Amino acid sequence: MDKRPTVGDVADLAGVHRSTAARALNPATRSMLSQETAERVSRAARSLGYRANSFARGLRTNRSLTVGVMIPDLNNPLFPPIVRGIEEALLPHGYTAFIANTDNDPVREAVHFRAFLSRQVDGFLIATARDNDETLDEVARLGIAAVLINRTNAQRELPLVSSDNRQGMQIAVDHLVAVGHRRIAHLAGPTELSTAVVRLSGFKEAAASHLLPQSQTPIFACSGLTEQAGEAGAATLLSTRPDVTAIVAANDLIALGVLRALAKRGLNCPNDMSLVGFNDMRFADAFNPPLTTVHVSHRLIGSEAARLLLERLVEPHAPAKTMLLPVRLVVRASTCPPRACYS
């Protein structure tokens, strides 16, 4: 492994000064040079297999062309498409992404955040979901560029990209009411997670818009946005509210837990219980039954967030935009009219 060539080597080979070589190699400054010199340097660089040392460059320019992406857990099928969207938007601009999984654990989050900082990331894409977030305090304190993904802003001046959760809850409830349901429960996520909070309030508004009384639209909070939490929540729901004919889950994983709970009790979905999920994550159409759910374009969320971050890196003080991406209902086989209609 012989030493990597430097600008100096390239310059020597091309018979010019280092700074001239540097200018030839930088697209932005290339136009300063005579066509011919630029050419000669390029050829020299290519023949040596020259590749700029990003440490040296970064040390000078204070830019790393690198962003840090913080997500709760890549295993949640929500996030892979978001990450791909991010990559897709970043790559043409020469940026590369670090990925960190935090499990929404403050300690893990802090460790990764500092790791990113010390690696001089130019900005952050933050998709973690805790509401009281020291990371965001730090971001604000240090004045680092950041864009939030799929969460609430918490009174901070940061750009935000999310799906339209309120609207999603509305169309979910609309659908259930349209096919005849009147007693609709919501399996909410934990109140620490901003997504869960927004969807909960969206559910309440939607129920109210159909004049469904609270007594007919009970809410059960699950301990997480997970399959296990969903199964536990559904168990409680089923034993305390046998009158309910439909469930709106805070996300597809909770919905999957509901399917398991129903199966364990020998209940049929959709005949005994209709079920609507949220996210239309991958494989939601492979469940038994295929899940009716609110579709969100996660890839788009990722790419729009990355785009906003790139904008921010250019204009750090532009007002922070909030983007709510549209959702749509995908009706599959987990919903149908209720067996007995109470209305």
Q: Which residues bind DNA (CB under 7 A)?
A: 3-4, 6-8, 16-20, 22-23, 25-26, 29, 32-34, 36-38, 50, 52-53, 56-57, 59-61
Minimum CB–partner distance for residue 117 and a copy of itself (Å): 6
Residue 75 φ then ψ, to 5°: -70, -20
Among the listed residues 301, 283, 296, 321, the one whose alpha carbon sits nearest the alpha carbon of residue 85? 301
* Tokens 């970043």 found at: 90
Contact between 143 and a copy of itself per CB under 8 A? yes
Minimum CB–partner distance for residue 306 and DNA (Å): 23
Residue 259 φ then ψ, to 5°: -55, -40
Residue 179, contacted partner among DNA, a copy of itself, none, CB below 5-8 A by kind: none
Residue 91, contacted partner among DNA, a copy of itself, none, CB below 5-8 A by kind: a copy of itself
Q: How far are the Cα atoms of 24, 35, 274, 323 from residue 14, in angstroms, in the given order?
A: 11, 14, 73, 50
Helices (H) and strands (E) in the chain, counts: 12, 12
Minimum CB–partner distance for residue 310 and a copy of itself (Å): 16
Q: Which of positions 73-112 make contact with a copy of itself (CB under 8 A)?
A: 73-75, 77, 79-81, 83-84, 87, 91, 94, 96-101, 111-112
| Residue from 28, 35, 36, 118 binding a copy of itself (CB under 8 A) | 118
Contact between 314 and a copy of itself per CB under 8 A? no
Residue 112 φ then ψ, to 5°: -65, -40
Residue 28 has, within 13 A of its CA and on its CB side, a CA count of 0
How many positions of this chain bind a copy of itself (CB under 8 A)?
A: 50
Q: Cα Rg for the chain, rounded, in angstroms?
A: 26
Residue 34, contacted partner among DNA, a copy of itself, none, CB below 5-8 A by kind: DNA
Minimum CB–partner distance for residue 260 and DNA (Å): 51
Contact between 282 and a copy of itself per CB under 8 A? yes
Q: How far apart are CA 252 and CA 278, in angstroms?
A: 5
Q: How far are the Cα atoms of 6, 30, 64, 137, 244 from residue 68, in angstroms, in the given order?
A: 28, 30, 11, 16, 44
Q: How far apart are CA 132 and CA 122, in angstroms?
A: 24
Quick one: 104 or 216, whose CB is closer to a copy of itself?
A: 104
Residue 80, contacted partner among DNA, a copy of itself, none, CB below 5-8 A by kind: a copy of itself
DSSP string, 8-35: HHHHHHHTS-HHHHHHHHSTTTGGGS-H
Quick one: 24 or 169, whose CB is closer to a copy of itself?
A: 24
- Position 197, amino acid: V
Contact between 119 and a copy of itself per CB under 8 A? yes
Contact between 17 and a copy of itself per CB under 8 A? no
Contact between 58 and a copy of itself per CB under 8 A? yes
Interface residue list for a copy of itself (CB under 8 A): 1, 51-56, 58-59, 64-66, 73-75, 77, 79-81, 83-84, 87, 91, 94, 96-101, 111-112, 114-120, 142-144, 256, 259, 282-283, 286-289
